[in-house]
Amino acid sequence: MSSIWQNVVAAASSILCAAICWRSGLEFGGTEFGSGSLAGNQGTSSLMFLMAATLIWKYPRFASGTCLIACYLSLPLYLYLLFPRPFRELWPGEWSTLELPRERFVWNAWWAIGVVASLVAISICCRVLIPSLRRQGAGVFRRLAAKYSR
């Protein structure tokens, strides 16, 4: 994938993720769930997604790191809303209700799109970050090899 198309896909997925974060912020805003540890990060995540979408053109590595952090903050809410019981079984934590939800899977198109968009954003960000880390790492290994080969 060329760099321009990669940036276009990264910006589009970041904007889509920001829109879904805003929707979840509007849906849960003013509720007890909206200010908790799962849904409380949606405002920050949406701003980070928008920042990543605008910075991807000039600073792709910084924008990719920002987008990865935003995905880390927003993805648990989508996973909880799609898979409530498995989420509570895997991450016990402190919950306001002690009983587990009955549903293992609850279909909601917004949260499913949020998961897919977050996974696309994560894959594009990793695709941007990993080659740049390899280039930096190769220089370090060459210097170490040259230093100890004498």
Burial class (CB in 10 A: 0-12, 13-18, 19+), 109: exposed
Q: CA-to-CA distance for 119 and 79, rounded, in angstroms? A: 12
Residues in the chain: 150
Q: In this model, does residue 1 exceed pLDDT 60?
A: no
Q: How many domains does the chain have?
A: 1
> How much is the mean pLDDT over the chain?
81
pTM comes to: 0.79
12: domain range? 3-148
Under the banding of pLDDT at 50, 70 and 90, the label for residue 95 is low
